[in-house]
Amino acid sequence: MPYNRAMPVYEFHCAKCDERFEIVSSLADRDENAVCPVCGACDVTPVFGGFRVGISRTKLNPGHFERKKGKAPEYKPPAGG
């Protein structure tokens, strides 16, 4: 597998020893690599956490939110909505 590709991090919970752990793996190998590092059990379930998207609401809806210096953002609905 090439080293220049980013690999996702998956978090799991072990049903046997109650450990939470992370693995770095491709999606194709995720289930095969999901083995508890503490007890070695394969009875693990994925844990879904929060994530952050790197886009601001002004880029998502330009002109809908405008901020005047020193004031809170003001919502301006799009034309026709």
Domains annotated on the chain, with CATH: 1-49 (2.20.28)
Does residue 73 carry a pLDDT above 70?
A: no
pLDDT digits (tens, 9 = 90+) for 5-64: 678 889 999 999 999 999 999 889 999 999 999 999 999 999 987 666 665 555 555 555
What backbone torsions phi and psi does residue 11 show, to the nearest 5 degrees?
-110, 140
